[in-house]
A and B are shown apart, each in its own frame.
Chain A
């Protein structure tokens, strides 16, 4: 077995140092090493997107990234989307709640992270752009209808907030 490797990853704004097996997947690093279990695992072929996180601001499937590849990077997970405590929510989280964008909740963290990346790149997407933007994330419960609605609503409220603060 290869020797462990030292990695430094800034996760949700906090610098973390760990010794990891070179083969350790980023998703297992987040879940098992750091205890951030909001990022889920739903397949073994990078199809389902349940493990989506932001790596240096871009969405990645964390089952397809090694922890060592994230050395020196910033990772944001679902736990880092809203300020901690007091029930605060990110506008995308608010929209998923308001529009019933989840049922069993298993794909939800990945969907929210994929949506965050999508809205960062395209703040005012059309429905078709949302549907194509979420193509890498599978949901079995919602038929995507309310997920798409949630992301469209989040885009609107985030744009409005930006407009108001500008």
Chain B
């Protein structure tokens, strides 16, 4: 089933390495991000935020701010009258999730640094910041709850006194007899693996403009989910949904952090209504790092049972998830998403994941690129290397021994989900065509003689994406209160050009190019003549948004299906015009022609003109050439791959240098290899960032000490190598396009690859396992500790 890559499957637009249609405006400074827009009479909004982690609000003195010229409104939590708190949409059947009310402005108590306590609106961008700085809030401080494991102890102070516990919920997913699996094992390897808190850190911070006119409001907001934001605003503002228009204009990156509905969106709308003027809010980077969702933050207690030949008998993980003080959209669900891929690429008879969520006085965690799957993959892939080392086996052989074989697909794993298609040996084989292991081990030994500690690490991953079957993920299944389909309208114009309206909403992925390729192929025109419109609740069909690597396999498939409906109508019309039977019309080389008589054919432009000037169309056929499709997939899709990293560790400084990074991914059939490579590169860099540099750190008092890009260390070009990428193509049987997803693959595969590589380098120095981030100081300390332990033993 695995095909060679990079050859267009059809010779048509699908598979073409096409330059992006988005780029001409973006490379000339003509993009239109939220901050690039100004409206007549527009006012500016700024927030006053808590500087302490936990306390009762004693007083908020707004008088000086109110007295400033140019200030139009000052509100605190007591003044704000909205119809509903901010949403959290996971209600798992039979499980109680303790849920604190989360209002746009704090009421009575603050629960994390950055918790908004007041909002100011003024006529001047700088003046409104001056006014905000004159608002004085006083608190009776309460003890801050920071360490999630200490938070679960009986004597721990409570984040929410009224809830009575810091435990948010317990949730489990498993299959097979885990106790028997562990008894059957020759060895049980146990590790505590911390997957630390990170930030999405899109380079465009969040921002929005609300404009109330008459009974209707328009909100331009930097979001991944405009249609859902509209639905939530309807409840909060007490306004009927059709009177709300939400537009996601150009969005400067999301990475999950904009898969949310935030307080500021409500406040801007609320104040625009109150003041009768447009209100703009722009997040500063400091606000972004404090109050835009964080990701990860799980402590995993992993137990892997194996036979002495490396056969895995069972994998049991207990996850402690630090969720912060309040929930955002999916906060308590995200760690649970990890449980669905805890089998990895392996045939494991018993797999069990037990999750405990914890409140702390921090900002909420939620989806960040990968959202649960990087955490799961990190745990499994690090454990495989740890177990292989304990058993004295080659970690790649342990992987091969346990891979689900290609002939087993579709393959049901222990937790009950069905992997659609896969060839795990295939991607690993291809990876090893790029990495000569014998040569590497020889080089490694030679370098060690010279005091250079070089290591190689691998991971082989599978991910769950393409959310998803609504019946599985929705209210009566996993419990997310929504549907997970996508939609598209394909409209062919009289000239034969087309516009696609998608409910999916991009922020850098290249929808306008990829969807144009799909629709162009289905219609028999060129992608240059297909425009893709998105991100506007008034002009496109409803959609669930762009996240979870679902765009192509759900949204792209919907666009493809709408185009097929158009093609079917075009064939009927062509048959009428050519005086042939509809079943005799085929689309070939951009022409709707009679089978066997290629001289008798029409271009789409001929057919569309006839459809819009309907003097000669079949009886009963409606004029026009436009179709809609809503698509809800029957299963998830399961991309996979094999990654390798080569690193050098300087034992004197602890600095890790990435020498090579090689990735072989399989995301099903390729629509545009250029876009796939770009997604893989970005994902890998994101994960190398987590593995080596990035960490959101709160100190014991709950102060955020990584509140700017000075201290929150995103990797720069100078810290990364060029990446070597390759692919295999195993089509998905789930959708007609045969596609999977690739937006998160790099983030999912690369953290364990990096940790395994660094451990391979450090094993001769006695370091066998370390948590991320592998910063110079931590690596150096680990080397020192291991050295003194070995010195003591000798």
Q: Which residues of A contact B (CB under 8 A)?
A: 21, 23-24, 28, 31-32, 36-45, 47-48, 50, 77-79, 81-82, 87, 89, 93, 96-98, 100, 102-109, 112, 127, 130-132, 134-149
Contact = CB atoms under 8 A, between A and B. Distances in A.
A43 B20 contact: no
22 contacts: A36-B29, A37-B29, A37-B33, A38-B31, A44-B285, A78-B29, A98-B19, A103-B678, A104-B204, A104-B507, A105-B22, A106-B31, A106-B203, A108-B27, A131-B718, A134-B717, A138-B716, A140-B714, A143-B683, A144-B717, A145-B685, A146-B678
Contacts of A41: 35
Contacts of B203: 40, 42, 48, 50, 104, 106-107, 138-141
Q: Report the 3 A-B pairs with minimum CB-CB distance, sorted nearest first.
A: A38-B29, A106-B252, A143-B685
Interface residues of B, number: 55
B125 A140 contact: no
A45 B28 contact: no
B125 A28 contact: yes
Contacts of A23: 126
Given A23-B126, A132-B717, 20 more contacts: A31-B36, A36-B29, A37-B33, A37-B36, A79-B28, A100-B19, A100-B20, A102-B26, A104-B507, A105-B508, A106-B33, A131-B718, A135-B718, A136-B716, A138-B203, A140-B714, A141-B508, A143-B683, A143-B685, A146-B681
A107 B129 CA distance: 25
Contacts of A77: 29
Nearest to A79: B29
A141 B743 CA distance: 10
Contacts of A146: 677-678, 681
B24 interface: yes
Contacts of A87: 24
A47 B253 contact: no
A12 to B, nearest CB: 10
B24 A105 contact: no
B27 A89 contact: yes
Interface string B560-587: 0000000000000000000000000000
B682 A140 contact: yes
A166 B284 CA distance: 47
B717 A105 contact: no
B675 interface: yes
A21 B710 contact: no
B294 to A, nearest CB: 15
Contacts of A147: 717
B41 to A, nearest CB: 15
Interface string B1-29: 00000000000000000011011101111
A104 B717 contact: no
B253 A148 contact: no
B31 A105 contact: yes
Contact of B19 (A97, A104, A134, A139): A97
Contact of B204 (A40, A97, A143): A40
A43, A131, A132: most-surrounded residue (chain B CB, <10 A): A43
Contact of A45 (B250, B285, B509, B678): B285
Nearest to B250: A105
A21 B127 CA distance: 11
B138 to A, nearest CB: 26
A147 B723 CA distance: 12
A96 B678 contact: no
A146 B26 CA distance: 16
B684 to A, nearest CB: 6
A143 B203 CA distance: 13
Contacts of A28: 125
B175 to A, nearest CB: 36
B709 A43 contact: yes
Nearest to A80: B29
B205 A42 contact: yes
Interface in B11-63: 19-20, 22-24, 26-31, 33, 35-36, 38
Given A47-B709, A47-B710, A40 B33 contact: yes
Contacts of B36: 31, 37
Contact of B202 (A47, A79, A82, A104): A104
Interface in B683-719: 683-686, 708-710, 714, 716-718
A13 B710 CA distance: 34
A104 B716 contact: no
Contacts of B710: 45, 47
Nearest to A32: B125
Contacts of A97: 19-20, 23-24, 27
A105 B28 contact: no
A19 to B, nearest CB: 14
Contacts of B674: 100
Contacts of B714: 138, 140
Given A47-B710, A105-B250, A143 B28 contact: no
Contacts of B35: 31, 37, 40-41
B720 interface: yes
Contact of B682 (A50, A98, A106, A142): A142
